[in-house]
Amino acid sequence: MSYVIPSWGLTSLPVVDNEDRFPVRRIYCIGRNYAEHAKEMGMDERDPPFFFMKPTDAIVQNGAKIPYPPQTKNYHYEGELVVAIGGSASSISVADANNCIYGYGVGLDMTRRDVQIAAREMGRPWDMGKGFDNSAPCSEILPVTKIGHPEEGRIHLAVNGETKQDADIKDMIWNVPESISYLSGLVTLEAGDLIMTGTPAGVGPVISGDTMVVSVEGVTELTCTIA
C-alpha cells in the first residue's frame, strides 16, 4: 500500500514485562466520575456518565517533558486510572465487561480549563479544551494477567512533590465495568481503545517547570514534566 502523503506510525504504549507494545486506537474519557470532583466543577454528582475523546496522537510517554500548550492561562492536570481494551465489545453487560479489558495504566487528562469552561458555558463541544497536542500522557500498560482488575486503591497526584489529588478508585461514581457497559452501548469498543476513567477532586493548574507524578495503587506510576 502506498499513500499520497507520507504515512505515520501507530501510536503505542509499552507493556510491562513484554517486548511487544499496546497499539492505541482511540482515547475515550469519562467526565466527572468522582462525586467530589463533580462538586468542585459545580455539577450534580448523580448525572449519568458522559464521554469525550482525545486524538490518539495526544498520547505522551511516561517520563516525557511536554510544552506548555498555547491558548490557555489555566492548564490543569487530572490524574486518572486508564483502562486498555483488548477485544471488541458492543452493548456488553456489566457482568461481562471485564472480559474485554487487556490491562490498566495511569494517565493524565490534561485540560485547558479556561477553554473547556468557556465551551461548556456556550453549550459548545469540549474538544479544544481537552483534545489538544500532548493532552494524554499515559504510563505503560499492566496486563490483567499480571495485576487482575483493580477495584480499589489509592489514586494520588503530586505536583513538585506536593499532594494535590488523593482519593480511592473505589469512589468512582460509575465503576469500570459499569462505564464500559454504558460506553459500549454508544459505540463498539475495539482492541486498542483506551478509557480514561475520570479524575477525583483536587484538580488545579500547572506551569512551566512543574513535574506531576500520578499513581494508582496496584497499577503503576506516571511522571510528566511541563517544559
Among positions 13, 59, 77, 78, the unique one binding Mn ion when judged by CB under 5 A: 78
Q: Which of 52, 109, 157, 177 lies at the binding interface for Mn ion (CB under 5 A)?
A: 109
Residue nearest to Mn ion (CB): 109
- Tell me the DSSP string of 143-185: EHHHH----S-EEEEEETTEEEEEEEGGGBSS-HHHHHHHHHT
Where do we find the cell 480511592?
168
Residue among 109 and 140 whose Cβ is closer to Mn ion: 109
Stretch that binds Mn ion, among 46-54, 76-84, 92-100, 141-149 (CB under 5 A): 76-84
Q: Does 140 bind Mn ion (CB under 5 A)?
A: no
**Residue type for 131, please?**
G
Mask of contacts with Mn ion, 22-61, x by CB under 5 A? ----------------------------------------
Minimum Å gap between C-beta 78 and Mn ion is 4
Other CB atoms within 10 Å distance of the CB of residue 64: 14
d(CA 176, CA 226): 30
Residue in this structure with the C-alpha cell 465503576, named with its chain if needed: 175
Count of chain residues binding Mn ion (CB under 5 A): 3
Coil, helix or strand at residue 72: coil
For residue 68, the 8-state DSSP code is P
Residues near Mn ion (CB under 5 A): 78, 109, 199
